[in-house]
Amino acid sequence: HHLPAVRGLGPLYYFLTRRQLVRYMQTLAPDLIHAHIAGVYADAALRSGIPTVLTPHGITYREMAIKYPNRLRRAYHGLPVLAERSTIRRARYLIAISPYIFDAFDGWIKTGEVFHIENPIDDHWFNLQSQELEGRLLYVGTISPRKALLDLLQAIRQIRGSVPHLELRVAGSGGRSYAGYVAQARRFVAEHHLDEQVTFLGHLDEERLLEEYATCSLLVLPSRQETSPMVVQQAMAAGKPVVATTVGGVPHLIRDGVTGLLVAPGDTTALGEAIVRLLQDEALRRRMGEQAKQEAEERFRASRVAARTREVYYHVIQQERAPSVRIG
């Protein structure tokens, strides 16, 4: 089923969309709704009167703090944060894709049941054959302040003389929202003569992205905020070690020194040192990649995640259909 988007701006768009969704859900009358992201869609699902499972994927209030450092601007764009808080508090059934969800929403999760089920990764990533090229790094994601590509570029500037054939491949774009940040990143590359070390690939389809994972030596994610990044899970499934920062749910995915290396956010020196360490030690890279793939098999296989999710659906429907017991 496809519902055309409602036209409108800001709060008007939110409330019109919510009203349309509630009516549509009630007309469709499914046994259960699974809402992803604690926003307008989850709000509508919870208002529909139909049993709803909610899976939050991002931590909006923390992401908005990075996107809008100015408090007045953040308050002006505050409706998504209010929606997030409201839906988390009202949800009776929550799927947590990371233990970080509990930390981030501490005090908001009231009486609901919480099920820990991580994001699934498509079998294509598990079946990928490595064609590693020496010195090749991969960054995948939106080019934005939250993802901190500039930190990685600074690290590349610091280590380019230490690693032969060093190359960073940047897969992703900033869109109109982050055009200024993208321009800043490109300007940094030009000013520091990193054109031979850094390649901007733009947004890639899955086939081309798989090729980039196959040929990289490792994935690097220098973010300032993450919940449970799919790109890390994809790298693990592909048997690639990861260098990332100790933010959000990343430490729940990567075991430092076992499946990758973790550094403090913003510490470009430590980031560069971690990259050099892995690029200069093929045996360590291979050992970490193999361990990462093994853990991904146990945690992220789509068939296993689907089975766990289906169990939650059956449980919720059974709970909602059980006759209530009146006392007194």
Assign residue 39 the CATH number of its domain: 3.40.50.2000
In a domain, 151, yes or no: yes
The answer to whether residue 326 sits within a structural domain is no
pLDDT at 45: 96
pLDDT above 70 for 327: no
- Please indicate, yes or no, whether residues 136 and 223 belong to a single structural domain of this protein: yes
pLDDT at 134 over 70: yes
Tell me, yes or no, whether 1 lies in a domain.
no
| Identity of residue 200 | F
95 and 150 in a common domain: no
The Cβ of residue 268 has, within 10 Å, a number of other Cβ atoms equal to 20
CA-to-CA distance for 143 and 147, rounded, in angstroms?
6
Domain range holding 134? 123-300
Candidates 231, 232, 280; CA nearest to 253 is 232
- What is the tens place of the pLDDT at every residue in 41-70? 999 999 999 999 999 998 888 888 888 777
149 and 273 fall within a common domain: yes
Confidence of residue 6 (pLDDT cuts 50, 70, 90): low
Same domain assignment for residues 160 and 284? yes
What is the tens place of the pLDDT at every residue in 245-299? 999 999 999 999 999 999 999 999 999 999 999 999 999 999 999 999 999 999 9
Average pLDDT over residues 19-27: 94
Q: Mean pLDDT throughout 65-79?
A: 75
For residues 113 and 212, membership in a common domain is answered with no
Do 155 and 144 belong together in one domain?
yes
Number of domains in the chain: 2
Task: Give the Å distances, CA to CA, from 206 to 106, 119, 243, 275.
Answer: 36, 17, 22, 25
Residue 203's pLDDT is: 95
Q: Is residue 24 included in any domain, yes or no?
A: yes
85 and 197 fall within a common domain:
no
Q: Are residues 38 and 59 in the same domain?
A: yes
The verdict on residue 5 lying in a domain is no
Q: Tell me: do 138 and 234 sit in the same domain.
A: yes
Q: Kindly indicate the confidence band of residue 8, based on its pLDDT and cuts at 50, 70 and 90.
A: low
Q: Would you say residue 257 lies in a domain? A: yes
If asked whether residues 294 and 176 sit together in one domain, one would say yes
The answer to whether residues 199 and 271 belong to one domain is: yes
Asked if residue 99 and residue 135 are part of one domain, the reply reads no
What count of other Cβ atoms lies within 10 Å of the Cβ of residue 14? 19
- pLDDT per position as a tens digit, 89-121: 999 999 999 999 988 888 888 767 999 999 999
